[in-house]
Amino acid sequence: MASHSSVLSLYLIFPFLLLSIITTQGKPLSFSDIPEATVSDLQLAFHRNQLTSRQLVDFYIQQIHKLNPVLKGVLELNPDALAQADRADQERRRAGHRPLAKLHGIPILVKDNIATKDKMNTTAGSYALLGSVVPRDAGVVSKLRKAGAIILGKATLSEWSYARGNNIPSGWSARGGQGKNPYTMGDPCGSSSGSAISVAANLVTVSLGTETDGSILCPSDSNSVVGIKPTVGLTGRDGVVPITPRQDTVGPICRTVSDAAYVLEAIAGKDIRDKATIKASKYVPKGGYAQFLRIDGLKGKRVGIVRDRVFYGFGNDTFQQKTFEQHLKTLRQRGAILVDNLVIDNSQELSTDSSEDIAMSIEFKLFLNSYLKNLVASPVRTLADVITFNKKHAKLEKLDVYDQEFMVNAEKTNGMGKIESEALSNMTRLSKNGFEKLMKKNKLDAVAIPGPNFSRVLAIGGYPGIIVPAGYNKDEPFGICFAGLRGSEPKLIEIAYSFEQATKIRRPPTRLHKL
């Protein structure tokens, strides 16, 4: 398998010097239109013969070469991306006026803990898995390919999805280096950092991330993009390097709610290799998620405003607080019924309880060992092997700077016992007597929370959430999260889309011009 740098360097020899304008049979399309273009914009350009998938992939490869050395959002490019683009163009020509899937011919980056059975690596950002061979595409990747999407490459991440050590900054991995927020050049937040960085900086159209606790919501919030953390089991986890399937979920990170809905529509549903998807498939609506992209989606929705200090996140008279209050006015103006000044009964216990950490540590060892065992080939076969690898290659993995205490502690566990069972029972109780009680008692469709502060509540209960750009404090973005009970994605998409269309806050990062 080729390394990150060598795979990228393959593209330096390709003879594609792009013109500033694509001149085709249709009206000329300026490349300046592409960076913030939505999936629908691109499909329209395809339909009008203003753009081909090859030209789009070429454009993104060039953008990656320009910006990725600084931003480090892309770990590997797919050597077959241009061939996939050519195939998509051929299929489009053959299809004529017959409609194709919404993602057909659209480039997508997938987080590097999501398996692709191709020439790319799947390493969770670690050298320990470099050269490993996966048995097949992850279930979500198979669905993307079926939809005609082009797998452009792998996005960087916090190594092992932030399940290695306690002092490792967000967005850092041994293979990928330190990812940077394109707005601030600082912390990109969360383990799906590269997926958010790349979409925010227009290195790709859409991307996939994963979340165990905050790993989609936080980078989406910090990088001014839209992220959907789906109900656990709504999207398959087969072929995803695990932390705990009890909380792990795969979701889209995009620039708009509509694009996120199209990606979710493509990847949601049954996966025979992930039993949780069979149960959760009852939540997938007939006709998909795009039907819920409604301008009037807020009308009549009961939205709870949780003013609990644990989740509210900022004091009075701050810019964020004033902005949030203005957004509440927008929700009302769009027809939402706000149920204000709510408090979750057990919020303090939720914020301090250690049950999630206890259960996650045991489950990580069990499920990672199972994942490694099922690889066709791998330098490591157990968590213990990974720990040993890191010690032997301490310089490569920067073990002298960043520890691996989470892994060491997980290795010490011995499977599910009384303490662990109590932890699982406790999380069920906290969810039922906390968030579920709040939602049902007040007959809410969703709650609106500033930023990703609700991630733990959603994580331990397997609930969905959507982050939408909400503003900028100088150059630093922040978002608003709409969250609901399991299977409430249709309502959340209606709410998020209506809010997005009413505000249209997102703007591209200005620092990119300097780069």
Is-contact 451 221, C-beta < 8 A? yes
Token readout for 11 is 């593209």
Beta-bridge mates of residue 30 = 21
Helix or strand (DSSP H, E) at 355: helix 355-373
Catalytic residue among 72, 102, 111, 154: 111
200 close to 223: Cβ distance less than 8 angstroms:
yes
Helix (H, G, I), strand (E, B) or coil at 295: coil
Question: CB neighbours of 462 closer than 8 A, spacing ≥ 6?
Answer: 231, 232, 233, 246, 247, 249, 486
Helix, strand and coil percent figures for the chain, each rounded to 5: 45, 15, 40
> How many Cα atoms occupy the beta-carbon half-sphere of 456 within 13 Å?
19
Question: Active site includes 378?
Answer: no
- Compute φ and ψ for 268, nearest 5 degrees: -75, 155
d(CA 102, CA 100): 6
Distance in angstroms (rounded) separating the CA atoms of residues 165 and 403: 5
Angle between helices 418-431 and 355-373 (to 10 degrees): 120
The catalytic position among 193, 195, 215, 220 is: 215
Annotated active-site residue 191? The verdict is: yes
Tokens of 46: 């395809």
Q: Establish whether 354 is a catalytic residue.
A: no
> Can you read off the two tokens belonging to residue 455?
């991630």
Measure the CA–CA gap between 161 and 155, rounded to whole angstroms. Answer: 12
The CA dihedral of 141, 144, 150, 153, to the nearest 10 degrees, is: -30
- Rounded Cα–Cα distance for residues 73 and 196 (Å): 8
Active-site residue identified among 142, 161, 170, 191: 191
Q: How far is it, in rounded angstroms, from Cα 95 to Cα 423?
A: 54
Residue at token pair 């109780």: 429
By residue count, the chain amounts to 515
Q: Is 250 helix (H, G, I), strand (E, B) or coil?
A: strand
CA 418 from centre of chain = 34
User: For 35-106, where are the E strands, in sequence order?
Assistant: 74-77
Closest CA to 147 of 110, 114, 108, 102: 102
Of 346, 351, 257, the C-alpha closest to 313 is 351
Instruction: Please give the positions annotated as active site.
Output: 111, 191, 215
